């Protein structure tokens, strides 16, 4: 059996789905790996490094798709490549089925089996495949590093003969994986950190990292069975808004990470709230690609609102593509390892396996 991967559109995506380390693991399973020439050369990884581990290279996307039993990607393929997929082939990636519903229906009707890794259930057995966690960890870290680079004051408290510099105050909106990593990174760099989330279970996690959890009075726990945040009620939103208004008056940096799977990101920082933030502060909106948590966010632009810089990128992981690819490719290998029947030496679509059943689109 052959697994293949073609180059992504580098203007949108610099990560790769297969690294030389994972080629070695696939070969151990008895799978051959077929890649497009110069597959990861933009990351400083040569074709020779892949060939040393047993990968083979072809010139065109068409050749790779034609030869492969399973295609492993980051994002859904371009239309011209989707049309080349053949019956009973497997496509695995972050297919974003809510946005690409029409495309996925078309290829599924040809009996092409699609698996979207962002739909993985949050169960213990799936942790090693959890691409949302591995990638969000890096995104939370990078958002803090980038926002600190734009903030024009020192982050930790400094006591000098000339006087004392106060520590920067950071607010993290949303304490999921990205938010918790943002809290940890900001604390390590000496900031005072506050955080808020609709899930009450986050309080203990935030406090264990040294952050102060802002609790909305009389709030209920808004967490789905799968561990994700669900949409807040209007009453909760109004109470959260009042709490944030008071907090924002003394905040230097805001990191926004609040997302609801499959839906537009909730607007948490409205324009009138942003007006309360001191001039010189920075807002980094990790939810920018899904509409943003800030009302003023514009994707891939730095908006200046009365001296407050609002930043949000379509794909922050393009700034850490090597680290992100290393983690993503391992998540992908663990998923394929679960999908591949080692005895029959074939891919087994066992819908009684919750991991396979939940990710099959």
CA distance 106 to 116: 15
Q: Greater confidence, 200 or 205? A: 205
What are the structural domain ranges in the chain? 2-119+321-359, 136-318
What pLDDT score was predicted for residue 259?
85
More confident of the two residues 358 and 230: 358
Kindly report, residue by residue over 50-76, the tens digit of the pLDDT.
Answer: 999 999 999 999 999 999 999 999 999
| pLDDT over 70 at 294, yes or no | yes
Strands ordered across the beta sheet of 2-5: 56-58, 32-36, 2-5, 70-75, 90-94, 113-116
Looking at the predicted structure, is the pLDDT value of residue 229 above 60? no
Q: What digits encode the pLDDT tens for the residues 30-41?
A: 999 999 999 999
pLDDT in tens, 257-286: 998 877 889 999 999 999 999 999 999 999
DSSP 146-202: HHHHHS-S-SS-EEETTEEEPPPEEEEE--SHHHHHHHHHHHHTT-EEEEE-S-TTH
Whether 220 shows a pLDDT value over 80: the answer reads no
CATH 3.40.50.2300 given to domain 2-119+321-359:
no
Q: Is the pLDDT of residue 205 over 80?
A: yes
CATH of 136-318, one of 3.40.50.720, 3.30.565.10, 3.30.70.360, 3.40.50.170: 3.40.50.720
Residues belonging to the active site: 122, 127, 130, 133, 228
Q: What is the pLDDT of residue 168?
A: 97
- Nearest CA-CA partner of 251 in 334, 181, 166: 166
| Interval 311-317 mean pLDDT | 94
Q: Give the pTM.
A: 0.90
Specify the pLDDT at position 141. 98
CB of 293 within 8 A of CB of 284? no
212, pLDDT greater than 90? yes
């Amino acid at each position: 059996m052959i697994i293949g991967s073609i180059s992504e559109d580098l203007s949108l995506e610099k990560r790769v789905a297969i690294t030389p380390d994972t080629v070695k693991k696939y070969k151990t399973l008895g799978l051959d790996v077929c890649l497009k020439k110069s597959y990861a050369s933009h990351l400083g990884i040569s074709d020779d490094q892949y060939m040393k581990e047993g990968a083979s290279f072809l010139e065109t996307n068409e050749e790779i798709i034609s030869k492969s039993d399973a295609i492993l990607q980051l994002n859904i393929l371009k239309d011209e490549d989707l049309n080349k997929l053949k019956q009973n082939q497997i496509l695995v990636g972050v297919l974003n089925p809510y946005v690409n519903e029409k495309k996925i229906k078309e290829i599924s009707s040809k009996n092409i089996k699609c698996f979207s890794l962002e739909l993985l259930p949050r169960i213990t057995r799936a942790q090693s495949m959890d691409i949302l966690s591995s990638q969000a960890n890096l995104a939370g870290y990078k958002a803090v590093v980038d926002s600190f680079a734009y903030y024009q004051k020192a982050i930790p408290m400094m006591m000098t003969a000339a006087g004392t510099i106060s520590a920067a105050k950071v607010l993290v909106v949303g304490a999921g994986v990205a938010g918790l990593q943002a809290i940890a990174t900001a604390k390590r760099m000496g900031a005072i950190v506050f955080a808020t989330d609709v899930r009450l279970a986050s309080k203990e996690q935030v406090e264990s990292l040294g952050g102060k959890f802002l609790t909305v009075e009389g709030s209920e726990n808004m967490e789905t069975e799968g561990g994700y945040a669900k949409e807040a009620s209007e009453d909760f939103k109004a109470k959260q808004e009042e709490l944030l208004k008071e907090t924002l008056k003394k905040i230097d940096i805001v990191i926004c990470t609040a997302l609801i799977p499959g839906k537009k990101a909730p607007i948490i920082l409205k324009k009138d709230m942003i007006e309360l933030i001191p001039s010189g502060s920075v807002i980094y909106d990790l939810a920018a690609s899904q509409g943003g948590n800030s009302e003023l966010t514009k994707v891939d632009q730095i908006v200046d609102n009365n001296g407050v810089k609002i930043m949000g990128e379509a794909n922050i992981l393009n700034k850490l593509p090597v680290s992100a690819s290393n983690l993503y490719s391992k998540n992908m290998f663990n998923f394929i390892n679960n999908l591949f029947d080692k005895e029959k030496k074939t891919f087994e679509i066992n819908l009684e396996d919750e991991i396979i059943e939940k990710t099959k689109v």
